[in-house]
Structure 1
C-alpha cells in the first residue's frame, strides 16, 4: 500500500581517476621498445593522451575527420560514440607526428583508418607490458589516456576547464569538474610533503625568531 523505496536515497561513490604524471608520459615517450607491436600501442596510447579521445573514438577516426580549425591549424572534428556530442580538438605537434608516422600503414590505407589500432583487449594487455618496461606502478589501461589529457596535459597547464570540457565532448561541465577535484587532491598532497620538509627543527626555530 506504499512505496518501499520512498525513503531510500542512492549514494554516489566517486571513482578515483588514475592518470599519468608528466614524468610518466616522458618515460613512455622516450622508451625504445623491443617490438613493433609495443611501439604501435605506445604511439596510439600517446595519441589519446594528447587528444583526450576514448578508444572507440580513436578507432573510428578517418583522415576526413581532420580539417582546418578557426585558427587555420589542423583540428580533429568528430562525435563521441558514447554521448554523440561533438569533439573539436586542435592537433598538437606530438599528435601530428603520430598521424604522419602511420600515414602509409597498410591497415590505414585498406580500412580507411587514421591509425592502425588493435582491439581494446589487446591494447590493454600490451599497455600492462609497457607499464612494466617503463617501471610505472599503475594499472595502465587505454582509458587512463583520456584522464591524462584532462589532468596532466590540459588543466595542469592552465587550459580553462570550459575548453577542456568542450574538447572532451562533455555535455555537462560537472563531468569535467571531477578532474579538477583530482588536481585539488594533488595540490593537497604536494603541500603536505612541503609541510613535512618545512617542519624540521631549524625551520621552527627560525619561525619562532620571526614571531
Structure 2
C-alpha cells in the first residue's frame, strides 16, 4: 500500500497570534495518523501547498531541514515494516516511528486460550474427547517449536507456509503419526490460525498454498450373518450380554457411544408415523438425528427399563465407559469367531451399511438419521459395499441378458 506524508500547521482553539504547532500526517489507504513534530511556525511564514516554511532565513531553513529529516525517517520506517512483512497501516507506521512496543501475539498462547474455551464449554458444546484431542495437538505444537526453534513459544508473524510444512514433516517423522492423524492435527492448528487471522493477529494465511494429505480409511462393519451370530450367542457372564445388547442397540439406531450414553426418556418421541423415534442432536456436531426405532432396538430398551444404573442416572441403557465397552467387544468378537477389529463405533458403521443401505434405504435418509452434515460423509459407506454393487449389477446383467436374446 502506498503512503503519503503531509506537514501542516494547526491553530489551537482561541488562537490570536504567535507561532502554531506543526504536525505530520501519515495517510495509508485513506486512513490517517498524526504526529506532533514538537516544532512551531508563524502562520504567515507557512506554505500549505509545499508543507514547509517560506523564506531563506535561518529559522525557516532550520525548520525545513528538520521536517525533511522526519519525512525520511517515516519513509524508512515504512520500508522496514514492508520488508518484515508486518502491518503497514498508518497507525502501525506511527507506532513504529515513535518506538511504541507493538503487541506481539504468540502461537502457544492462542492455542491455550482456544483449549481453555473448549474446557469452559464442556458437555454443552464440546465433549471430553474433543478436549483431549486438542490438548494432544497443543503438546505436539509445543514440542515442535522446541525441536525446530529451541523456544517455548513463537510469534504468530513467524507462522508461515514453511512452518506448516515443517510441522507436517515433524508429525510424520518424529511423532510417527499416520497420514490421517497428521491431517487431524494440522486441521486443528488451522482452526486456531483462522481465528487469529479474523482477529487481525496475523497478516498472511500460512495455509493458503498448503494442501493436506488424507488417506481414505476403510470402515469396518458387520455383515448380517455376523450380527445374527452375536445376537444368538449365550454368554456366561451377565456383563458380556449387557455389552452385546447395547452394541446391538447402536447397530439398529446408528447412535455413537456418547449419544447412547446421554440418551434419555425425553429423547424418545412419537414420530410422524405414530411410531417411536429417537429425536436428539448429535453430541459431536450438534446436528439433529431423527431415527425410527426398529423392533429389536425397542426390545433392548424395554429389557433395561428397570436396571438400577438406568434408574439412578436417568439413562435408558446401562452403558460402561467407552474403553471398557471396547475391551468387552473384543472378547465378544473372539468368542463369536469374528476376526474383524470390532469397537463400539463399528455399530454405527454397521447401521449405515448392513442395516440400512444394503436393505434399500435411500442414502439421503441414512444421512439424515446419522446426523451427517454432508451427504459426502455418508457416501463413504456406499464405496465399501461390494455386496450392494454385486446386487445392482446382477439386476443389470439379467436385463441385458434378456436383451441379448433378440
Q: Displacement, 1:8?
A: 4.2
1:79-118 equivalent positions in 2, closer than 5 A: 79-118=281-320
| Among candidates 262, 284, 288, match of residue 60 of structure 1 | 262
Instruction: Tell me if the contact between 2:358 and 2:388 (Cα under 8 Å) persists in the aligned partners.
Output: no
Q: Partners of 1:3 and 1:178 in 2: how far apart?
A: 31
Structure 1 gap ranges (5+) = 195-209
Q: Displacement, 1:182?
A: 1.1
Query: Deviations along 1:120-142, whole A, 9 cap, x unmatched?
Result: 00000000000011000111100
**Higher relative contact order by CA 8 Å / sep ≥ 6: 1 or 2?**
1
Q: Pick the structure with more strand per residue.
A: 2
Q: Which has the larger radius of gyration?
A: 2
Match of 2:98 in 1: none
* Superposition TM-score, scaled by structure 1 size: 0.86
| Among candidates 49, 71, 85, match of residue 251 of structure 2 | 49
Structure 2 gap ranges (5+) = 1-84, 86-159, 166-207, 395-404
Q: Displacement, 1:74?
A: 0.4
Q: Partners of 2:289 and 2:344 in 1: how far apart?
A: 18
Q: Secondary structure at 2:384's aligned position in 1?
A: helix
Q: Partners of 2:362 and 2:388 in 1: how far apart?
A: 17
Q: Partners of 1:176 and 1:8 in 2: how far apart?
A: 27
Q: Partners of 2:303 and 2:209 in 1: how far apart?
A: 58
| Among candidates 219, 235, 239, match of residue 33 of structure 1 | 235
| Among candidates 130, 141, 156, match of residue 343 of structure 2 | 141
Q: Partners of 1:156 and 1:11 in 2: how far apart?
A: 31
Q: Partners of 1:177 and 1:7 in 2: how far apart?
A: 28
* Residue correspondences, number: 191
Match of 1:202 in 2: none
* Superposition TM-score, scaled by structure 2 size: 0.45
Q: Partners of 2:274 and 2:353 in 1: how far apart?
A: 26
Instruction: Tell me if the contact between 2:326 and 2:343 (Cα under 8 Å) persists in the aligned partners.
Output: yes
Q: Displacement, 1:9?
A: 2.6
Match of 1:207 in 2: none
Match of 2:271 in 1: 69
Instruction: Tell me if the contact between 2:270 and 2:277 (Cα under 8 Å) persists in the aligned partners.
Output: yes
Query: Deviations along 1:162-189, whole A, 9 cap, x unmatched?
Result: 0000000001100000001111x4456x
Q: Partners of 1:89 and 1:9 in 2: how far apart?
A: 37
